[in-house]
Amino acid sequence: MGILDNLLLGLNVALAPQNLLYCFGGVFFGTLIGVLPGLGPLAAISMLFPLTFYLEPTTALIMLAGIWYGTSYGGSTTAILLNIPGTPVNAVTALDGYPMSRQGRAGVALFMTTIASFIGGCVGIILLTTLAPVMVSYALRFGSAEYFALILLGLVAASTISSGSTIKSLAMVVLGIMTGVIGMDMYTGALRFTFDQRALFDGIKIAALAMGLFGVAEIIASIRHVGTRRLDMKTVRFRAMKPTRDDMRRSVGPVIRASAIGSFFGALPGVGSAIGAFMSYGLERRLSKEPERFGQGAIEGIMAPETANNAADQTAFIPTLTLGIPGSATMALMLGAMMVHGITPGPRLMTDEPGLFWGLIMSFWIGNVMLLILNIPLIGLWVRVLLIPYHLLFPTVLVFVCIGAYSVNNNPFDIYVVAAFGLLGYLMRMLDFPAAPLLLGFVLGPMLEEHFRRAMVLSQGDPSVLVTRPISASILALTALLLFWNALSAFRAHRAAATGRG
């Protein structure tokens, strides 16, 4: 089949009435939850995750993906209007978006970021469509040694590149892998760490883990910290949205550059959209003739990160769909959703399930257009959602979390798992441990163990197979380099701090 046939097939799938409906549902709830402060994309996906168990796999994935890129659109609204970044990505947008809103230009900022998100999303989808088949042709040649190396690279990259302490991120990855060990060993059938609990025999449910770690822990941390909000509704009316000619002229360059930067970083394992957004913001400030405008409401400062993060959201699907290796915690959750539906993402997905693969990709176009429509005329609705008091919001969210967790298996045990991971997540926040690497480790851990053990069986116990096969060796070398570079920069920072004090 040629690429055109594939695209037509995908369009056919994506335009099926049921898929259209759930795509709309996904982007709608994604925007809704993205707008609500204190609930990020991970909480959004994990809360709505159980609902999709009743759907066809293709429809479920279309909806989950819609939730995800919908939260990126919605998150920017909160960042611009209230200076509350839902995610690190939107933190960059808030730098210039909030000053714009203080100057009475909130409408313009919201309009322009929606356009930026749309363009970034489109560039990302085009790259995903063209690069995924290329990636698949490489991936088909990978053996267990290569997969082990790639997963390890993904895990290490996620811990070293993200902000904060590398040691702590790595520890959370390992803790996540340990959580993934719970349940039946797929090689020997031995039950590991189940403590005779029947509900643990097939492992901890990813939905329960994610809802506890992100949903409940975020709620506990936000209670008493999200105050009442005031807002001037006049600045966000439809008529106040028209950008000036100057705004348009200044935006062209940042959008083009940020599309490229975002797409590149999105496709890398473990990097994610936040880095792309930071990098493109930094680049625009450096290129600008008047860098002092940044932080004071420069339009370039909102266009660059919003374009980059939406491009990255789409290209992040490249490693997830073609290799079965998610680059970020959100993608790990998408991967978990596929596995719940009995689909194994990997190089064979594209040929075995062309309807699902291309249908999902084509649904991104539809979803992005829907978001454009949802966000510009309906902005007033989202702003009102923003003003819902938190003391009404959080009990509602808790009720939905509990019912969602229960509905996965109709088993109260899963609710206790949510509570346990809620506690763990809150303790981790207190001790400043990041939660996203734990989820990544949890999803990738069983794959890591499987490929490691299979590689060792095939090589008859000779670990050198990992470094004698060229692809595996170069990926492992890159992983080691990342760790080394990270240790070096940490050491330098420590030395600089020591001399600074002395």
Partner 1 sequence: MHRRDPRDIIGGLLLVTVGLAFAAYAYANYRLGTVARMGPGMFPLGLGVILATLGAVLTVQALRRPGNWPTGEPLVAGLVLAGIIAFGMAIRPLGLIPAICLLIVLAAPAEGRIRPRTIAALCVCLSLLSWLIFSVGLGLPVRMFWWSL
Q: Which two tokens stand for residue 258?
A: 């940020």
Q: 7, 8, 171, 483: which one contacts partner 1 (CB under 8 A)?
A: 171
Taking CB under 8 A as the criterion, the residue among 140, 233, 399, 496 binding partner 1 is 399
463 sits in the region (left: phi over 0; alpha: psi -120 to 50; else beta) called alpha
What would the DSSP string read from start to end of 389-441?
-HHHHHHHHHHHHHHHHHHHHT-THHHHHHHHHHHHHHHHHHTT--SHHHHHH
- Contact call for residue 461 and partner 1 (CB under 8 A): yes
470 binds partner 1 (CB under 8 A): no
* Closest listed residue to residue 260, CA positions, set 113, 76, 65, 119: 119
Pick the closer one to partner 1 by CB: 358 or 452. 452
Rg of the chain (C-alpha set)? 22
Per CB under 8 A, the segment of 38-46, 124-132, 330-338, 421-429 that binds partner 1 is: 421-429
Q: Is 384 in the site for partner 1 (CB under 8 A)?
A: no
To the nearest 10°, report the CA torsion of 36, 42, 48, 52. 150
Of the candidate spans 304-312, 376-384, 424-432, 474-482, the one that interacts with partner 1 by CB under 8 A turns out to be 424-432
**Dihedrals phi, psi of 293, to nearest 5 degrees:** -75, -20
Single residue of 177, 325, 379, 439 touching partner 1 by CB under 8 A: 177
| Member of 308, 335, 340, 418 binding partner 1 (CB under 8 A) | 418
Site string for partner 1, 39-58 (x = CB under 8 A): ------------x--x----
Looking at the Cβ atoms of 4 and 431, the one nearer to partner 1 is: 431
The CA distance from 243 to 100, in Å, is: 12
Give me the least distance between CB of 95 and partner 1, in Å please: 26
- Residue 220 sits at the vertex; the CA angle it makes with 217 and 221, to the nearest 5 degrees, is 85
Q: Which helix or strand (DSSP H or E) is residue 15 part of? A: none
- Measured from the Cβ of residue 461, the count of other Cβ atoms closer than 10 Å reads 8
Binding residue count for partner 1, defined by CB under 8 A: 61
Q: How far is the CB of 362 from partner 1 (least distance, A)?
A: 27
Q: What is the 3-state secondary structure (H, E, C) of 219-238?
A: HHHHCCCCCCCCCCHHHHCH
Contact segment (CB under 8 A) with partner 1 among 62-70, 356-364, 451-459, 466-474 equals: 451-459
Q: How far apart (Å, rounded) are the C-alpha atoms in residues 455 and 337?
A: 27
Q: Which stretch binds partner 1 (CB under 8 A): 89-97, 180-188, 249-257, 304-312?
A: 180-188
- The β-bridge relationship of strands 191-192 and 183-184 is antiparallel
Q: Does 292 bind partner 1 (CB under 8 A)?
A: no
Given 8, 126, 131, 178, the residue binding partner 1 (CB under 8 A): 178
Instruction: Give the contacts of 38 (CB within 8 A, at least 6 positions apart).
Output: 86, 218, 219, 221, 222, 226, 390
Interface with partner 1, residue 412, by CB under 8 A: yes
Beta bridge partners of 242: none
**Smaller CB separation from partner 1, 229 or 453:** 453
CA-based nearest residue to 466, from 457, 458, 476: 476
DSSP for 442-479, written as a single string: HHHHHHHHHHHHHHHHHTTT-TTHHHHSHHHHHHHHHH
Q: Is residue 227 a contact point for partner 1 (CB under 8 A)? A: no
Stretch that binds partner 1, among 41-49, 102-110, 237-245, 455-463 (CB under 8 A): 455-463
* Stretch in the footprint of partner 1 (CB under 8 A) among 56-64, 172-180, 258-266, 267-275: 172-180
Among 432, 464, 499, 500, which residue sits at the site for partner 1 (rule: CB under 8 A)? Answer: 432
Of 4 and 190, which CB lies nearer to partner 1 in the complex structure? 190
Query: For partner 1, which stretch binds (CB under 8 A), given 91-99, 137-145, 220-228, 280-288?
Result: 220-228
Provide the CB-side half-sphere exposure for 176 (13 A, CA). Answer: 31
Token pair recorded at residue 123 = 């560039």
Binders of partner 1 among 139-168, rule CB under 8 A? 165, 167-168
How many whole angstroms separate alpha carbon 128 and alpha carbon 123?
Answer: 9
Q: How far apart are CA 237 and CA 376, in angstroms?
A: 10
325 touches partner 1 by CB under 8 A: no
Considering only 23-31, 129-137, 261-269, 450-458, which stretch makes contact with partner 1 by CB under 8 A? 450-458
* Smaller CB separation from partner 1, 188 or 499: 188
Report, in Å, the least distance between residue 462 CB and partner 1. Answer: 8
Applying CB under 8 A, the span of 98-106, 146-154, 313-321, 388-396 interacting with partner 1 comes to 388-396
491 binds partner 1 (CB under 8 A): no
Which chain residues interact with partner 1 by CB under 8 A?
51, 54, 165, 167-168, 170-171, 174-175, 177-178, 181, 185, 187-188, 190, 192-193, 216, 219-220, 223-224, 390-392, 394-396, 398-399, 401-403, 406-407, 410, 412-413, 415-416, 418-419, 422-423, 426-427, 429-433, 449, 452-453, 456-457, 459-461, 463
